[in-house]
Amino acid sequence: MRASPECGYVYEQTSGDWPGAAYEITATANWVVTWAASGGETGTLEGARPTTAARVRIGERQVIETG
């Protein structure tokens, strides 16, 4: 099994037992930009942190065995 990326998540069980049969998830984007000008000036810019929420249904769980 491949590892989840930094922004990923592995669900251990289906969402069938949760209210509305769905997980409530929230995602937030975070970013920072560092810059340098040809005149030697430097700086850091932090962007807005947009957030969104959603409901996700996880209906199947698969187990893969190797070896």
For residue range 8-50, list pLDDT tens digits in order. Answer: 777 778 888 877 888 888 988 888 999 999 999 999 999 888 9
Q: How many structural domains compose the chain?
A: 1
Q: Is the pLDDT of residue 63 over 90?
A: no
Strand partners, 46: 32
CA gap 65, 45 in Å, rounded: 46
Q: Which domain holds residue 39?
A: 1-67
Residue 56 has what pLDDT? 87
Nearest-angstrom CA–CA distance, 63 and 34:
43
Residue that the structure tokens 């430097």 belong to: 42
